[in-house]
Amino acid sequence: MAFVVALAVALVATPIAALVATRLGVVDRPGPHKVQTAPVPYLGGAAVYAAMVAALAPSHPRLLLPLGLALALGVADDVQSRSPAFRIVGAIVVGAAAGWAAPAPMPLGALATAVAVIGLLNALNLLDGLDGLAAGVALAAAAGFAAIGGDARTPALALAGALAGFLAFNRPPARIYLGDGGAYVTGTALALLAALLLDSRRGVATWAVVPLLVAVPILDTAVAVVRRLRARRPLLAGDRGHVYDQLVDRGRSRAAAVLALVALQLVLTLAAVGIAELDPAWAVASSLACAFAVIAVIAVTGFTSPSDAWGGAS
């Protein structure tokens, strides 16, 4: 029911959010690092959040506080670009709320959840560069959290339903974007799912697979950081050196680039679901093998180079 409720609400709320954003002028306009040629409304995150509220209010009301704060922080940046200091302080506040709502089952568990939230909300925001990409990757991840189960199952189904409904309007050509608000909500939700999944009763195997469930956002952020460091460029400066940008620069269509990264996350998600059932030693070894394989492919194919032969931005 969590999936069905969230899906239904998202299908209704997303076009309403697009209409409101257009009338208020909260739109993403074409620019040097943008792929669209016409303004596209933001506030898709408001629809995703509304869908999750409808699905989770009866069973997980505590989760709605950090998700709501994440939405507010992102929408504030969508309406008017904020300073890095504002975003950093805001992310810390969201992380603290998440740590209160769903502390990981470990020493300093609230701090661990907060750090995960800060990392993933920014990673999802960086990944949100092509129509349907961030929402599609997050949907694949949410499906994995739901399949493994535990305390994360219901919130994961709610997130999956919300994103599936949103994707009906965000698939290429997108009629609405997540915006910073939606990226922050989605990243925060994934971090909360990770904290909820780390149930001590499920053992080491569950801990081992969590990185695989959020691998693509982490990978894209890591590639961007490494490229900027190697090029001696500011870490906070925007560019077109993300994995999806490079795929397009190497001749793939935007839709093909999106499908490739969503497929990669789906494969890693399926691997995570299987690995979660293994004995602890095999689970850790299998997860490390998957991670090393992906890192090796990225390194060998030149995605972390400060410049490349295909004309991509470095």
Residue-wise pLDDT for 78-98, tens only, equals 898 888 899 999 999 999 999
CB atoms within 10 A of CB 232: 7
Considering only residues 83 and 240, tell me which one the structure prediction assigns the higher pLDDT. 83
pLDDT at 239 over 70: no
Query: Cα angle vertex 118, ends 104, 112, to 5°?
Result: 25
Tell me how far the alpha carbon of residue 182 is from its chain's centroid: 9
**For 253-282, how does the pLDDT look when each residue is reduced to its tens digit (9 = 90+)?**
899 999 999 999 999 999 999 999 898 899
**For 140-172, how does the pLDDT look when each residue is reduced to its tens digit (9 = 90+)?**
999 999 999 889 999 999 999 999 999 999 988
Global confidence as pTM: 0.90
pLDDT at 309 over 50: no
Q: What is the mean pLDDT of residues 309-314?
A: 38
Predicted local distance difference test score (pLDDT) of residue 73: 96
Q: Supply the DSSP symbol for 40.
A: E
Q: What is the mean pLDDT of residues 9-34?
A: 87
Predicted local distance difference test score (pLDDT) of residue 158: 97
| All structural domains of the chain with their residue ranges | 2-300
Q: What is the mean pLDDT of residues 297-309?
A: 74
Cα–Cα dist 303/306, whole Å: 8
Considering only residues 44 and 309, tell me which one the structure prediction assigns the higher pLDDT. 44
Residue that is written with structure tokens 């959040």 in the block: 49
Beta bridge partners of 27: 41
Q: What is the mean pLDDT of residues 284-294?
A: 94
